[in-house]
Amino acid sequence: MTPQRRTWQQTAVEEAIGADSTFVSAQELHRRMQGSERQVGLATVYRVLKRLVSLGQVDALQTTDGETLYRACEVGHHHHLVCESCGATVDVEPPDESWMDEVARQHGFEKVRHVVDIYGRCAACRERAGD
pLDDT in tens, 46-56: 999 999 988 88
Alpha-carbon distance values, 9 to 32, 48, 50, 60 (Å): 14, 8, 14, 20
C-alpha span between 64 and 54 (Å, rounded)? 22
C-alpha span between 67 and 9 (Å, rounded)? 23
Domain 1-76 has CATH 1.10.10.10: yes
Sorted by sequence, the CB contacts under 8 Å of residue 61 that are 6+ apart come out as 23, 68, 69, 80, 82, 89, 115, 117
pLDDT value of position 1: 45
Fold type of domain 77-131? Dna Ligase; domain 1 (3.30.1490)
Domain ranges of the chain: 1-76, 77-131
Q: Is the pTM higher than 0.75?
A: no
pLDDT value of position 75: 66
Q: What are the residue ranges in the chain where pLDDT is below 50?
A: 1-2
Percent of the chain with pLDDT over 90: 34
Q: How does the average pLDDT of the chain come out, rounded?
A: 85
The C-alpha angle with vertex 9 and arms to 13 and 113, in degrees rounded to 5, equals 50
pLDDT value of position 3: 57
pLDDT value of position 4: 67
Describe the chain by its helix, strand, coil percentages, rounded to 5. Answer: 35, 20, 45
- Which pLDDT tens digit goes with each residue over 107-125? 999 877 777 888 899 999 9
